[in-house]
């Protein structure tokens, strides 16, 4: 599967200072990359309300991505679970 990253995702990743979390994220991204389709990635869950949006937890963080084509996932955000709840409450 092809992985692309939004500018915001890159900024979110850069802001994380925990080296072990970076390693976990690398492992997750590698497992997504080697998958042939989204159905092979069992830890990604659909986000209700959008058929193309997916999320997964990595430690206390959520990785959010959008399927932009059948074999392409664009990584949109990587936020701590408290930040995600803050964004949801402010909408």
44-89 per-position pLDDT tens digit: 999 888 889 999 999 999 999 999 988 999 999 999 988 876 665 5
pTM of the model: 0.86
| DSSP string of 20-79, one letter each residue | HHHHHHHHHHHHHHH-SSGGG-TT-EEPTT-TTEEEEEETTEEEEEEEEETTEEEEEEEE
């Amino acid at each position: 599967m092809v992985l692309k990253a939004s500018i915001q995702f890159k900024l979110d990743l850069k802001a994380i200072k925990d080296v072990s979390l970076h390693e976990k994220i690398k492992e997750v991204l590698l497992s997504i990359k080697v998958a042939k389709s989204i159905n092979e990635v069992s830890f990604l869950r659909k986000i209700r309300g959008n058929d193309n949006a997916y999320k997964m937890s990595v430690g206390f963080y959520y990785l959010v991505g959008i399927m932009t084509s059948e074999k392409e996932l664009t990584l949109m955000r990587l936020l701590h679970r408290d930040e995600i709840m803050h964004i949801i409450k402010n909408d």
